[in-house]
Structure 1
Amino acid sequence: MRAVVFAYQEIGYVCLEELIDFGADVICLFTHSDDPGEEIWYRRPVTVAEKHNIPVHTPESLKDPRWAALIADARPDIIFSFYYRKMIPKEILDIPKIGAFNLHGSLLPRFRGRSPVNWVLIAGEKETGLTLHYMLEKPDAGDMVAQKKIDIDFEDNVYTVYMKMAEAARGLMKEVLPQLSEGTFTRRPQTGVSSYFGGRRPEDGIVMWEKDAVSIYNLTRAVTHPYPGAFTYLDGKKLYIWKAFPEDLPRNALPGKVISLVPFTVSTGKGGLRLLSVQLEGEEEMDGETFARLHDMEGKIFGGTA
């Protein structure tokens, strides 16, 4: 089975490894040049490609006709996209005889679009997973060929969920590659309730203290390291909340007001939020109680803007 692979991030690394272990002839890898402004916390598929002498391409745009020509000349049986960040043009998707497949980070048709691992946590979902599906011009809309579920524990955060998904991706590939190679796979349309979410920006991490403690907790764990972080303002400076936990407390204070120093707890629209690890703009990250002691947080109110 001759394959052209588009891949990035840890899941791209894992899936490319599985393809090679399966014995697929990987013709080339399309990937991304690393962004100097992005924390590279994952293994990169390019290292797998280099180890196995697979040609690597990092085009700024796939719309240049030379890329479709290069892939057509290579005569692939199949194309895979594993967390590749660019849309792949139809003229490329139409080339392979088996098909072009994308691995999406949710249980389609729910959570189509960008940043699904963040959005499922913000929504407080108790499970998510991966879907391998045919690629169409419309993103995340093609027929499905495989899915793998994972559980989300209440203590999970974006990193732990992502690593569960990477492990699930390896298992999914082991199961589906023989079926794809032998032509024994089945395809089924996406049915049921669907949802679509756009990409997230750092400024979307602002905490709205009027919300309930669980909703704020879900935001903090959805955008914690290695993402930009949930934040609020303290005396005009950004305060990042890297780790927190909701407390079932009666509402008896203004949302955003510090109601305890030990443990360091803030009132919300419903319940309290215990701040376990925080970082004031320009300072090092530290545990909440140490921060409260060093910054005289008695009676302080979070919120507002810079």
Structure 2
Amino acid sequence: MSDKVIFIGSKSLGYHVLKTMYELNPEILDACITMDDITDSRSCLKDIKEYCAVHDICYFEMVGSCDISEIILERKPDICFVVGWYKIIPSHILNSVPKGFLGIHNSLLPAYRGQAPLVWAMIQGEKKVGFSLFSFTEEMDEGDIWAQEAVIINENVYISDVLQVFEERAVGLFKRIYLKIIDGSIHPLCQAGQISYCGKRDKDSGLIDWKKSARDVLLEIHAQSKPYPGAYTIWNDERLIIWKARKFEYKFIGIPGRVGLIMHGDIIVACGESTAIVLEDVEYGKYRGNPNKIIKSLNTKFL
């Protein structure tokens, strides 16, 4: 087993996959390429850097455009594994590596090709989500599938919980098949099934439409909670982020976006279709916590 392997990645999942790859066969791991994402709350830069130093793994920390072309052409790996890397890899670099680039995409491909797939899937109310280990091609997320893991969820789960399950499953997957991929004892399959695509999201994508039902509003809150920027509304010209909420159990007739009840310490906001939600954890300016500390009036209206 003489293949030269390069790891490219970041964040917690990338860090744990890197550790798994090294533990399974330290001799073939030629280098680690990561990015300076220290300002990202999800960053594991210090952990990755320290691990590489302790185990004498050749380490590259990219900034700016994060162009890895020179490193790949110079080190000539046989195969690259990509986990938690959000930069485009040029086609001539993809084609320069004999066994290609393999990466994890947080959907059951070919569904939800594109960006923020898990967020979109949860917003859509999918009951089955998952991730795919696939080969990179010049087209978006179209490569052959090496393995997939499906996870059944309900509408009350938060995205941090799903990501934790994904991480555990992905590390377990690498433990089972990493060396089999290297030695060629397993092979990928073509993608099959209903194709769909999803688009880019940013911190402004989470604006709540209170005319939607409580179910739909809660799906958006759950899907965009930590470690993402959060679903939010506007109050007094400032952003109020809703990190946690639950459905009000009774029918509620009110103006969507208005605080309809303050009851037993609960702040209840009207939604569409005669439904409402109970706010549990919010962030407003420097305040983070129970909304009943800052919302006191039934005249409160969110935009």
| TM-score (norm: length of structure 2) | 0.90
Name the SS of the counterpart of 1:6 in structure 2. strand
- The amino acid across from 1:250 in the alignment is K
Choose the corresponding residue for 2:281, options 277, 282, 285: 277
Of the three residues 21, 24, 30, the one matched with 2:23 is 21
User: What is the rounded CA distance, in whole Å, between the counterparts of 2:259 and 2:291 in structure 1?
Assistant: 12
Tell me the amino acid that sits aligned with residue 125 of structure 2: G
TM-superposed deviation, 1:197: 1.5
SS of the residue 2:294 aligns to: helix
| Cα offset, 1:113, TM superposition | 1.3
Structure 2 counterpart of 1:39? 41
1:212 is matched with: 213
Per the alignment, residue 107 of structure 1 pairs with: 108
Give the direction of change, closer, same or farther, for the CA distance of 1:84–1:47 in structure 2 (3 Å limit): farther
1:78-98 deviation per Cα after TM superposition (whole angstroms, max 9, x unaligned): 111111111112222223333
Deviation of 1:61 (Å):
4.0
Instruction: Kindly provide the CA deviation profile for residues 167-196 of structure 1, in whole angstroms up to 9, marking residues without a partner as x.
Output: 011111112113213312122111211221
Q: Which whole-Å deviations, capped at 9, do the CAs of 1:54-79 have from their partners, x for residues lacking one?
A: 1222334465753342132xxx2311
Shift of 1:238: 2.0
Does structure 2 retain, via aligned residues, the 8 Å contact 1:135–1:142? yes
1:150, 1:168 within 8 Å by CA — same for their partners in 2? Answer: no
Aligned residue in 2 for 1:147? 148
SS in 2 for 1:12: helix
Distance 1:283 1:69 in 2: 47
Q: Is the 8 A contact 2:129 2:151 kept in 1?
A: yes
Q: Find the residue that maps to 1:132 and give its secondary structure.
A: strand
1:3 paired with 2:9, answer no
Task: Work out the CA distance in 2 between the residues paired with 1:65 and 1:124.
Answer: 39
Distance (Å, rounded) in 1 between the aligned partners of 2:8 and 2:244 = 34
Q: Give a deviation string over 1:201-250, Cα, whole Å, max 9, x none.
A: 11111111001111111111122223222111223232221111122433
- Cα 1:48–1:194 change in 2 (3 A) is farther
Give the secondary-structure state (helix, strand or coil) at the position aligned to 1:176. helix
Q: Report deviation, 1:34.
A: 1.9
Per the alignment, residue 301 of structure 1 pairs with 301
Return the letter of the residue paired with 2:297: M
- In structure 2, the residue matched to 1:97 is 98
Between 209-218 and 118-127, the greater mean CA deviation after superposition = 118-127
Distance 1:48 1:95 in 2: 28
Q: Which runs of 5+ in 2 are unaligned?
A: none
Aligned counterparts of 2:298 and 2:89: Cα–Cα separation in 1 = 54
Mean Cα displacement is larger for which, 13-22 or 244-253? 244-253
Q: Is the 8 A contact 1:68 1:91 kept in 2?
A: no
Give 2:187's aligned residue: 186
> What code does the residue aligned with 2:90 have?
P
The residue matched to 1:289 in structure 2 has which SS? helix
Note closer, same or farther for the CA distance 1:41–1:100 as it changes in structure 2 (3 Å cut).
closer
Which deviations, in whole Å up to 9, do the C-alpha atoms of 1:244-282 show, x marking residues without a partner?
1122433411111211112211110121111001122x2
Residues 108, 246 of structure 1: CA spacing in aligned structure 2 closer, same or farther, 3 A cutoff? Answer: same
Choose 46-55 or 81-90, whichever is displaced more.
46-55
Structure 1: which 5+ runs fail to align?
none
Q: Distance between the aligned counterparts of 1:9 and 1:63, measured in 2?
A: 18
- 1:19 corresponds to which letter in structure 2? M
| Change in 2 beyond 3 A, CA 1:55/1:225 | same
RMSD, aligned CA:
2.0
SS at match of 1:69: helix
Is the Cα–Cα contact under 8 Å of residues 83 and 104 in structure 1 kept in the other structure? Answer: no
